[in-house]
Amino acid sequence: MSARPSLARVVREWGRIGCVGFGGPPAHIALLRELCVDRRRYLRADEFESAIAVTGLLPGPASTQMAIFTAWRVRGTAGALAGGLAFIVPGLIAVIALSALFLASAPPRWVVAAGLGAGAAVPAVALQAGGSLLGPSWRGARGRRRRWILYLAAGAAAAATAGPWVVVVLLGCGLAEAGIAMAAFLPVAVVGTGGLLSLVWVAFKVGALSYGGGFVVIPLMQADAVDHFHWLTSTQFLNAVALGQVTPGPVVHTVAAVGYAARGVGGALLAAFVAFGPSFAFVLAGGPRFERVRSNRTVAAFLAGAGPAAIGAILGSAIPLADALHHGWQAAVLAVAAVALLVLRRGVVPTLLGAALVGVVVF
């Protein structure tokens, strides 16, 4: 085991991952393992694997929580705050800057074209993200696979049709598997016209009520941001999702683009604060108790229900995302992107950048 690092080193090392962490949670986990286990030896391999397991129990952005948790393990509360912020902030700055360009009232034509191209590939990204989770989830569902199929279908149907009620379905599936009486569960909704409280609620769902990986935040936000509060058009929402994919750091940065559309830079920072805040709270308040929570049968059962529903929601989100495409050539881009991601196993970032380039040439 290596000596305890200074806060300056934590900021530098975790900040480096925040700057070069393209490719979503798998890339982030690999970079954190290379740092904490292979290179600096802050943690043993079994400790790192245990950290993955315990953060996997939490709602919200898993790779962000992993960054915060590993920083907490090596440098305590101050390390968690410093390392978590260093991991989050670089991508957040990039998303806000690009939002100002792509979501402007009169962006340059090449920006519009690039957004249309990249946006056309986003439904394929949703299918790739959900599909990558199907195998492990199915293999872990021995003895309850009929219910697994029902939860998966419920999540997909909710994302395709139920809009802002997706979170209710995720929680409902989790509670059903845990054996908690559904009559005791009352759905919660925030009624409003798109003010700050509405933005806070949307961001809170992303940070505290999402299960199943980063991309599940897309169906949680889409209906609110586009259909209910009209902060974004369907095309702009596709652009926002693409921005969250091509910038480093967690996919949850997409919420900052939604916040920017709702209330400018202040809205972007507020949405990011609310979305990432629960991750810090979960780790700082629950870190010492994670092993006990991990062994709790009720928690495990809840996740066994919410997990497949979240995967279904990711897959189902491809339907409204594809419905937002309005140009014939975008269908061709989507088809090519689907082949690249699902058949040829190309990376998400180069696929989106290639689609954006096609948009600039074609539009």
Q: Which DSSP letter does residue 3 get?
A: P
Q: What is the DSSP string of 277-289?
A: HHHHHHHHHHGGG
Whether residue 56 lies inside any domain: the answer is no
Residue 262 belongs to what domain range?
A: 94-362
Predicted pLDDT of residue 244: 85
Mean pLDDT per 10-residue interval, the chain, length 363 residues = 85 94 78 90 84 75 90 94 96 93 83 87 86 83 87 88 75 80 44 75 84 72 87 91 86 91 94 94 82 72 81 85 88 94 88 91 90
CB 125 within 8 A of CB 245: yes
Whether residue 25 lies inside any domain: the answer is no
Predicted pLDDT of residue 291: 66
First CA to last CA distance, the chain: 55
Whether residue 20 lies inside any domain: the answer is no
Rounded Cα gap, residues 305 and 147, in angstroms: 8
Whether residue 88 lies inside any domain: the answer is no
Rounded Cα gap, residues 310 and 314, in angstroms: 6
Q: Which two tokens stand for residue 109?
A: 């034509």
Whether residue 262 lies inside any domain: the answer is yes
Burial label for 202, CB within 10 Å (0-12, 13-18, 19+), is buried
CB 350 within 8 A of CB 341: no
CB 267 within 8 A of CB 260: yes
Q: For the chain, how many residues are written?
A: 363
Q: Which two tokens stand for residue 210?
A: 């999402």
Rounded Cα gap, residues 125 and 240, in angstroms: 13
Q: Which two tokens stand for residue 357?
A: 């380039």
Whether residue 31 lies inside any domain: the answer is no
Whether residue 286 lies inside any domain: the answer is yes
Whether residue 153 lies inside any domain: the answer is yes
> Hey, how many other C-beta atoms are within 10 angstroms of the C-beta on 43?
21
Rounded Cα gap, residues 175 and 209, in angstroms: 13
Number of structural domains in the chain: 1
Q: Which DSSP letter does residue 5 get?
A: P
Query: What is the Cα Rg of the chain in Å?
Result: 20
pTM for this prediction: 0.78
Rounded Cα gap, residues 112 and 95, in angstroms: 16
Predicted pLDDT of residue 7: 94
